[in-house]
Chains A and B, each alone.
Chain A
Amino acid sequence: MASADTTHSFDHKHLLSIEELTSLDLEHILSLADRYANATRAGQRPMPIMAGKTVINLFFENSTRTMSSFEIAARRLGADVVSMPVAQSSIKKGETLIDTAMTLNAMKPDAIVIRHSASGGVKLLSRKVECAVINAGDGMHQHPTQGLLDTLTIRRHKGKIEGLNVTICGDIAHSRVARSTTQALSRLGANVTLCAPRTLLPSDAAAWGAAETTTDFDAAVTDRDVIMMLRLQYERMDGTQLPSRREYYHFYGLTASRLSKAKQDALVMHPGPMNRGIEIESAIADGPQSVITEQVEMGVAVREAVLDLLTREAAA
């Protein structure tokens, strides 16, 4: 259970972005996560391989689901977990980001899980600490464990990633999820289409590995294996990017009639939190093709695998 049975060695100190992972790295993490997921489903407790180790959750941005997911993952592996939402830290008292890192580092944790509102903020901290750093989301840049859990969810349903046609629709430009998930899926051979109004499409989508970008959601849904919807991130938009929610839903909402154009067994995904009636019809979110709650479940498994791999003595 604790050791991956491939000959590939996972030699990364941190997990900061999907970009730095090879396809073998990705497979390695996914295989391990797959086994953690199966074990949990079978009601087995994993070996306490992180017993005696300390994980700090340092969240500079509010988060409920990601922080608790990391916390549960670490506890399942027997680690001691300290979760520090920013409101309770001395950051509010004017301490700089690097001072915080140095302070936490002096406490000798084995891993720090960090979410920060600034792109690159997590990387900056990783340079100042000796332990493993896991990026739990930095600004509009990366959210690697989300990319991994999306990929795992798809792989468990479809048996593969290569050759799948995946459409990600929504606020692509402001989404670290879109970037990480697109990179993970395309590195493993999926054809990823990014769909959004032009104001929410990035100009560098090709660099992410996306096969195409489009503003035509009807076309982008047709014959797809996976439809992933993203939330509109008003908090990250500078000025209005859209005319209205009504117009957005008209052109980009996932409705039953749109979904019927996708493959019969197409998966419907959403990283959450969802805005029902803005990007997705409620009946679709709760429907038989939706794997949205399963994404949450796979999140814990992926985070177990990542914590496991990054805190092993051999990898250190």
Chain B
Amino acid sequence: MTLHIYNARLLDPASGLDAFGGLIIDGGTIADVGQHLAAPTNAAETLDAKGLCLSPGLIDLRVKTGEPGEEHRETLATASRAAVAGGITSMVVMPDTTPVIDDVALVQFISNQANATALNRIYPASALTKGLKGESMAEIGLMAEAGAIFFTNGDNPIPDAGLQKRAMAYAAGCDALIASRPDERALSGNGVMNSGALALQKGLKGMGADAELIGLQRDIALAQATNARLLVDNISTQASLDTLATAKSAGINVSASISAYSLFFTEDDVGDYLTYCKVNPPFRSENDRKALIEALKTDLVDAVTSSHDPQPPENKRLPFAEASFGAAGLETLLSALLSLVQTCEITLLEALRPITSGPAKLLGLDQGQLKTGTPADLILFDPDQSWLCQREDLRSRSANSPFDGRELVGRVKKTFVAGQSVFSED
């Protein structure tokens, strides 16, 4: 069965294409794409995009669900429904579940559950250490063979630099990618928001840029020593970007992600102890936010993540210091980036690159581009339509969104995974 989508604004960060045209889906793949397909044809089935943007589906490197173990927070199925509504056609799920994904059988469990229940493509990330305890290496080679897309110690970096180095060396031998949250816990351990004027005013313990920087410098030094492929996960400060730039220009095999909320919010948004704004890394300064946006104009940052971390009300309706970290993010990832296009800070292609071709390249995936022969994972969206983000409208099982109550821009109209329509607005 073929479908011809015509009259679309084609946006393909991989090739730099931004032009009116069309695209033909045949089976699960893109059969043809380009400006020559702008007009309707007598294909079996056609779809008039009415000038909407047609781009690769989004790829999200950092999603948490509660499956297995805390299904009341989120399941793979509910997360996938929220994801496709947000245009996310591929996503990596984190291993910090109950039990921890640190064994071949559990990697296979995630893959099987995803195949059986999810609407989008789900890739399991595996624990770098057994039980995420930071004590002994997990079975990296066996889990890589079972389909683990990368290895991470989740939100808790390995404190033992020796173990981190051995794990990175071992992973390098398996050609496995390691993701590491740069965070020196000896400095940031009890912090709940960014170190700064507001934290002082509100009497909250801070997490400084220094803690992130020291963690980052350690992991970059170890990547250089071991030749490991390192993804520094969700960096958030100007200082980290500077260090990353130096490492990349020195030829060290390091890539980086940033969280979408870091592009939108600053520490001041924490306001009067708003626990929906309690996240890790914390919302930083306006200067940091500007620097992160600037980095999107270059290849310095490879991916922007939703950092989706569903937390039920009982984890958030608490004094700020006691509330859980984490924000729901699947349905606001695209809008967070498109808001920067609206304000003319970045272009549409710059907004899409770190959520399509950037992460695809990092993970070695075929999707994430408008190219003949690649998987037909696509979205149709209106970059200008504004909408009110309200937590009761969100599809995620936990709607702890810091965007709650905000006017956002950019709306997904249709989502395709492997040529199949998995989401249509209303």
Contacts and interface: CB of A to CB of B under 8 A. Distances in A.
Contact of B137 (A238, A240, A250): A240
Of the four ranges (under 10, 10 to 19, 20 to 34, 35 or more), the interface on chain B belongs to: 10 to 19
A198 B169 contact: yes
Contact of A197 (B136, B160, B170): B170
B163 A197 contact: no
A247 B166 contact: no
B142 A241 contact: no
B226 to A, nearest CB: 7
A250 B226 CA distance: 23
B47 interface: no
Contact of B163 (A198, A215, A240, A250): A240
A180 B138 CA distance: 32
Contacts of B136: 240, 243
Contacts of B160: 239
A239 B139 CA distance: 16
Given A215-B173, A215-B174, A239 B138 contact: no
A199 B172 CA distance: 9
B139 A244 contact: yes
B142 A250 contact: yes
B162 interface: yes
Interface in A190-230: 197-199, 201, 215
A250 B104 CA distance: 13
A243 B138 CA distance: 5
A234 interface: no
Contact of B170 (A238, A243, A246): A243
Given A239-B163, A240-B163, A250 B169 contact: no
Contacts of A242: 137, 170
Contacts of B162: 238-239
Given A239-B162, A239-B166, A241-B166, A198 B141 contact: no
Interface string B75-92: 000000000000000000
B140 interface: yes
B101 to A, nearest CB: 14
Interface string B138-151: 11111000000000
Interface residues of A, number: 16
Given A199-B166, A239-B166, A240-B163, A250 B173 contact: no
Contacts of B142: 243, 246-247, 250
Contact of A251 (B137, B141, B169, B172): B141
Given A198-B226, A238-B162, A243 B173 contact: no
Contacts of B139: 243-244, 246-247
Nearest to B175: A215
Contacts of A244: 139
A125 to B, nearest CB: 32
A239 B170 CA distance: 13
A28 B32 CA distance: 72
Interface in B103-149: 136-142
Nearest to A215: B173
A193 to B, nearest CB: 15
Contacts of A199: 166, 169-170, 173
Contacts of A241: 166, 170
Contacts of A243: 136-142, 170
Contacts of B174: 215
Contacts of B138: 243
Interface of A: 197-199, 201, 215, 238-244, 246-247, 250-251
Given A243-B140, A243-B142, 4 more contacts: A199-B166, A215-B174, A240-B166, A246-B142
11 contacts: A198-B170, A199-B170, A215-B173, A240-B137, A243-B137, A243-B138, A243-B142, A243-B170, A244-B139, A247-B139, A247-B142
The 3 closest A-B pairs by CB, nearest first: A198-B173, A215-B173, A243-B139
